Amino acid sequence: MACGRPKLRVGPSQREGGFTDSVPATVSRMENQSMRITALIVCLPLCAFGAATAQGLLLQRAGSQAENRPVIPKASKGDQCVADTEIMRKDHMSLLNHQRDETVIEGIRSEPYSLVSCVNCHAQTDTSGQAIRIDAEGQFCESCHSYAAVKIDCFTCHAAKPAAMEVIGNAEPHLMRDNPHTLVSYLLNKEANE
């Protein structure tokens, strides 16, 4: 970026005060060899100056952004998301929409982008181990959305807290969270009781 700009600006056209000169005109006048060297001499410092200014500006913006940035609560489960975090930040809405049609219309339930699963991993618990709604103020979905002025209606129908079993898993980690065997026996018992 810093090198594209000076190319347009330097050369005789600038000395003649002609910012409006078109690019081809500038180029044709630069055919002269010495002109080219002059251009280079002018261009290099300009380039450096441009880059420095741009960097300064960027740093400044990054600084002010960090202050206002949404504070996104960390996932309460798992070490990674159902896709790369970068992709999830950008594309979660289309992934969710795609999956909802696949599930509701076609009955496919094995895909990773289930809304229930987002809630299971991303909903937080309060100090007493009670689940907090994922769409409450400052909570996972709401943190970004209020920053970006997005409003979703999903949780007027969809549960905003994990199912009771998930809450047990959260409150008593030794019971199931990291132990597939207790999880399996829990599920089998649950099945037998049904």
Partner 1 sequence: MSRVPVADNEKSLQARRRFLQGLGLAGMASMSYSLLEVKAKTPASSDKRWGLLIETEKCSSGCDACVRGCNEEHGIDDAGDDLTRAQWIRKIDLKDELTGNETSLPVMCQHCESAPCVDVCPTGASFKRADGVVLVNKHTCIGCRYCMMACPYKARSFIHETLTEQKPSAPRGKGTVESCTLCVHRIDEEQDRQPACAVKCTEEAHSAITFGDLNDPDSSISQKLNTLGGSQIRADLQLNTGVRYQGL
Asked if 174 touches partner 1 (CB under 8 A), the answer is no
145 interacts with, out of partner 1, ligand HEC, none, CB within 5 to 8 A per kind: ligand HEC
| Token pair of 19 as six digits | 């910012």
Asked if 156 touches partner 1 (CB under 8 A), the answer is yes
105 interacts with, out of partner 1, ligand HEC, none, CB within 5 to 8 A per kind: partner 1
Q: How far is CA 188 from CA 13, 21, 167, 184, 185, in A?
A: 81, 78, 18, 6, 5
35 close to 64: Cβ distance less than 8 angstroms: no
Q: Residue type at 44? A: L
By C-alpha distance, which of 19, 119, 116 is closest to 76?
119
1 interacts with, out of partner 1, ligand HEC, none, CB within 5 to 8 A per kind: none
Contact flags string 22-61 toward partner 1, x per CB under 8 A: ----------------------------------------
Radius of gyration, alpha carbons of the chain: 29
- Give contact residues for ligand HEC (rule: CB under 6 A): 72, 74-75, 77-82, 85, 88-89, 92-93, 96, 99-100, 103-104, 113-118, 121-122, 134, 140-141, 144-145, 148, 150, 152-154, 156-158
Q: Residue type at 148? A: A
